[in-house]
């Protein structure tokens, strides 16, 4: 009988630590619910003691998730463990995940601690965590570079102290697959009480071997794999859950394991991650990239027409990409539209179906044929939309290679139209300056990404925008066959979130000042240094837009 592999997802902890992937509480909660739908066994919801925001996120996820174990990471310190327990104790299945470094390199230079002292602390803190929480996981940080006999002592001791799961991380992605497999096998053969715990593997991708090392560890006896969606994480990231699980599914002859993960949810989960973080998935990304099931070579196309398995070792349906012969276009009805969305894994309320169908019709008037990727892009841009404070009425751009671009932008707010004209070095930058002038709220453009959702000249352009002000960072997303319109949609989605926060803070301040008998303070604009950063980005923006202008 195939042995079960537990899938431990750390996208919301290790993954979120990667630059550009930070999420707010609402975004983390949305993603945690999708991880539950995906069917992971454990969600590592965060590092509770890291910040009040992390604590609140872990606590909210612990309360919302019902079928998965919810874990919080903690250092092997009493205050960390107590904080982690406070955050996860409301979970249906809580877990405290505590760690301490065990390699001589980390002990000498980072912890400045002897081996015996580290072992003593590991035992004490696992025991403390076990007195609070029914399930405890211990990680030996940098285990792959730890002396094997000392690592055996640590593993034996923490199991005896109450750890039911012991994680063996390749923290810096240093190991080779055979080497890492040998390490797990060594522990399985030299730790007397190893049968009393589940051995877990957590491999980083610094040499591109995270998935290979994780699989080697599973073959050698580990029964939990720690992964992230799309392999995001510190430095080069972690083992990608979609690659790990689809390898086990595709090569069952080599990996006779069972798992509870629903692979049909993989594509949807990866797209949600991209939508939330604003970081696009690389086209050549294994399993979920845009090119994973695309064939351009004539030889490949001929083989595919003869038999799909000539060039596809897995089916698009196995990851949640549905194949269908029903073509959607401008003459399609709402019933057909809703049916296609259901085929793609989306259940729409009546209100959402009506809104998305209207968006679909607008796109269909501009495109001959709507693809599944177009529909997914429309769904992501319409779901969890930003508040509609400012809405785009129209824009007119006058641009050329030997002239300064001029943009006239008209926005609506509460039924009132507001207009501004601005000049800049390119059409998007001019439009963005006009928006800033209308809303009278300075912001810094932190990131701007433009890509074609599908192929051909009439493809949808997808724009992801990240802006910031004195209160925080805000993301927006726009989709249109017109890249300037998509850029405006993305900016306004982010701007509306920013304005909502600013006006809420201002209202609270006014109420507080009123109750204290003081006059409310005016909003303080961004510094000249911050504004100059925004100006410096304009060349990059317009260069990117120019490159894509006739392709999208």
* Span 182-195, average pLDDT: 98
Rounded to whole angstroms, the Cα distance separating 474 from 231 reads 24
Residue 298 clears pLDDT 50, i.e. is over it: no
Question: Would you state the torsion angle of the CA atoms of residues 33, 234, 49, 472, taken in this order, to the nearest 10 degrees?
Answer: -70
Which pLDDT value is given to residue 385? 56
% residues pLDDT > 70 (the chain): 85
Q: Of 382, 404, 423, which residue constitutes the final position of a domain?
A: 382
Highest mean pLDDT among 81-90, 302-311, 463-472: 81-90
By the 10 Å C-beta count (0-12 exposed, 13-18 middle, 19+ buried), 20 is classed as: exposed
Residue 552 clears pLDDT 60, i.e. is over it: no
Q: What are the φ and ψ backbone dihedral angles of 43, each rounded to 5 degrees?
A: -110, 115
Do both 508 and 456 map to the same domain? Answer: yes
Do both 506 and 359 map to the same domain? Answer: no
Q: Of 337, 359, 382, which residue constitutes the final position of a domain?
A: 382
Residue 213 clears pLDDT 70, i.e. is over it: yes
Half-sphere exposure of 350 (CA within 13 A, CB side): 0
Tens of pLDDT, residue by residue over 351-360, are: 888 878 887 8
Rounded to whole angstroms, the Cα distance separating 259 from 244 reads 11
284 falls within a domain: no
9 falls within a domain: yes
Rounded to whole angstroms, the Cα distance separating 71 from 62 reads 8
* Span 528-546, average pLDDT: 41
Highest mean pLDDT among 5-14, 510-519, 521-530: 5-14
Q: Is residue 551 very low, low, confident or very high in pLDDT (cuts 50, 70, 90)?
A: very low
Among 67, 15, 38, 34, residue whose Cα is nearest residue 246 = 38
Q: Is residue 424 very low, low, confident or very high in pLDDT (cuts 50, 70, 90)?
A: very high
Q: Of 382, 405, 430, which residue constitutes the final position of a domain?
A: 382
Domain containing residue 530: 391-548
Q: How far is CA 256 from the centre of its chain?
A: 29
Tens of pLDDT, residue by residue over 352-389, are: 888 788 878 877 777 666 777 777 777 766 555 567 89
Do both 429 and 349 map to the same domain? Answer: no
Tens of pLDDT, residue by residue over 301-323, are: 445 455 566 657 888 889 987 66
What b-and-e string marks burial along 312-344, b requiring 16 or more CB atoms within 10 Å of the CB? eebeeeebbbeeeeeebeeebeeeebbebbeeb
Rounded to whole angstroms, the Cα distance separating 38 from 230 reads 14
DSSP state of 387: P
Do both 344 and 430 map to the same domain? Answer: no
Do both 310 and 250 map to the same domain? Answer: no
Lowest mean pLDDT among 108-112, 379-383, 417-421: 379-383
Which CATH number belongs to the domain containing residue 407 in this structure? 3.30.160.270
283 falls within a domain: no
* Span 181-206, average pLDDT: 98
Which CATH number belongs to the domain containing residue 82 in this structure? 3.20.20.70
Structural element, H or E, at residue 360: helix 350-364
282 falls within a domain: no
287 falls within a domain: no
Which pLDDT value is given to residue 172? 98
The domain tally of the chain equals 4
Do both 377 and 503 map to the same domain? Answer: no
Q: Is residue 546 very low, low, confident or very high in pLDDT (cuts 50, 70, 90)?
A: very low
175 falls within a domain: yes
* Span 203-230, average pLDDT: 98
Rounded to whole angstroms, the Cα distance separating 387 from 385 reads 7
Beta strand ranges found along 33-93 (DSSP E): 42-46, 69-75
Lowest mean pLDDT among 229-243, 276-290, 332-346: 332-346
Please list the residues that pair with 276 across neighbouring strands. none
**CB atoms near residue 211 (< 10 Å):** 25
Residue 536 clears pLDDT 50, i.e. is over it: no
Residue 151 clears pLDDT 90, i.e. is over it: yes
Do both 482 and 346 map to the same domain? Answer: no
Do both 461 and 527 map to the same domain? Answer: yes
Q: How far is CA 461 from the centre of its chain?
A: 21
Rounded to whole angstroms, the Cα distance separating 514 from 518 reads 6
Which pLDDT value is given to residue 371? 72
Which residue's structure tokens are 């874990």? 71
422 falls within a domain: yes
Please list the residues that pair with 100 across neighbouring strands. 140
286 falls within a domain: no
Tens of pLDDT, residue by residue over 164-186, are: 999 999 999 999 999 999 999 99
Lowest mean pLDDT among 131-140, 148-157, 285-294, 368-377: 368-377
Do both 171 and 260 map to the same domain? Answer: yes
Do both 336 and 446 map to the same domain? Answer: no
Do both 296 and 262 map to the same domain? Answer: no
> Which two three-digit tokens encode residue 104?
């001589």
* Secondary structure (3-state) at 293: coil
pTM: 0.74
Average pLDDT, the chain: 87
Q: Is residue 455 very low, low, confident or very high in pLDDT (cuts 50, 70, 90)?
A: low
Which pLDDT value is given to residue 523? 46
Which pLDDT value is given to residue 309? 61
- Is the CA virtual torsion 505, 508, 511, 515 positive or negative? negative
Do both 245 and 299 map to the same domain? Answer: no
Rounded to whole angstroms, the Cα distance separating 243 from 247 reads 6
Residue 297 clears pLDDT 60, i.e. is over it: no
Which pLDDT value is given to residue 335? 83
């Amino acid at each position: 009988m195939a042995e079960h592999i537990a899938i431990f997802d750390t996208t919301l902890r290790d993954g979120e630590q990667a630059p550009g992937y930070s999420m707010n509480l609402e975004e983390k909660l949305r993603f945690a619910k999708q991880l539950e739908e995906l069917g992971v066994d454990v969600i590592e919801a965060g590092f509770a003691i890291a910040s009040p925001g992390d604590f609140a996120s872990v606590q909210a996820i612990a309360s919302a998730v019902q079928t998965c174990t919810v874990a919080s990471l903690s250092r092997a310190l009493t205050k960390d463990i107590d904080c982690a327990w406070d955050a996860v104790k409301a979970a249906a299945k809580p877990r405290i995940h505590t760690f301490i470094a065990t390699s001589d390199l980390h002990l000498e230079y980072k912890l400045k601690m002897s081996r015996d002292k580290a072992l003593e602390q590991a035992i004490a803190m696992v025991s403390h965590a076990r007195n609070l929480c029914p399930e405890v996981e211990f990680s030996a940080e940098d285990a792959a570079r730890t002396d094997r006999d000392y690592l055996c002592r640590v593993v034996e001791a923490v199991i005896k102290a109450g750890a039911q799961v012991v994680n063996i991380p390749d923290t810096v992605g240093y190991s080779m697959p055979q080497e890492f497999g040998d390490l797990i096998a060594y522990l399985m053969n030299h730790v007397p009480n190893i049968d009393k715990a589940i051995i877990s593997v957590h491999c980083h991708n610094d040499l591109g071997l995270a998935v290979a090392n994780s699989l080697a560890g599973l073959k050698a006896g580990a029964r939990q794999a720690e992964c992230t969606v799309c392999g995001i994480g510190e430095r080069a990231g972690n083992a990608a859950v979609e690659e790990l699980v689809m390898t086990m599914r595709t090569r069952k002859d080599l990996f006779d394991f069972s798992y509870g993960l629903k692979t049909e949810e993989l594509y949807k989960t990866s797209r949600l991650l991209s939508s939330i973080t604003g970081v696009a998935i690389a086209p050549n990304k294994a399993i979920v990239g845009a090119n994973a099931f695309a064939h351009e070579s004539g030889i490949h196309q001929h083989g595919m027409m003869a038999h799909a398995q000539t060039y596809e070792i897995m089916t698009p349906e196995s990851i949640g990409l549905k194949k269908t012969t029903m073509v959607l276009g401008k003459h399609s009805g709402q019933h057909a539209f809703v049916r296609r969305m259901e085929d793609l894994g989306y259940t729409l309320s009546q209100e959402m179906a009506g809104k998305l169908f209207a968006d679909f019709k607008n796109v269909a008037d501009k495109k001959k044929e709507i693809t599944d990727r177009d529909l997914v892009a429309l769904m992501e841009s319409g779901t969890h939309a930003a508040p509609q404070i400012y809405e785009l009425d129209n824009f007119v751009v006058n641009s050329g290679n030997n002239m300064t671009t001029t943009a006239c932008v008209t926005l609506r707010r509460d039924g009132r139209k507001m207009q501004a004209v601005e000049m800049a070095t390119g059409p998007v930058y001019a439009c963005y300056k006009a928006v800033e002038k209308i809303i009278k709220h300075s912001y810094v453009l932190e990131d701007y990404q433009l890509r074609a959702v599908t192929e051909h000249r009439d493809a949808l352009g997808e724009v992801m925008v990240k802006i910031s002000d004195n209160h925080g960072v805000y993301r927006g997303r726009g989709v249109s066959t017109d890249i300037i319109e998509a850029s405006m949609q993305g900016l306004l989605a982010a701007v509306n979130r920013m304005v909502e926060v600013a006006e809420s803070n201002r209202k609270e301040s006014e109420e507080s000042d009123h109750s204290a008998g003081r006059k409310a303070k005016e909003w303080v604009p961004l510094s000249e240094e911050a504004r100059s950063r925004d100006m410096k980005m304009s060349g990059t923006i317009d260069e990117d837009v120019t490159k894509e202008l006739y392709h999208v």
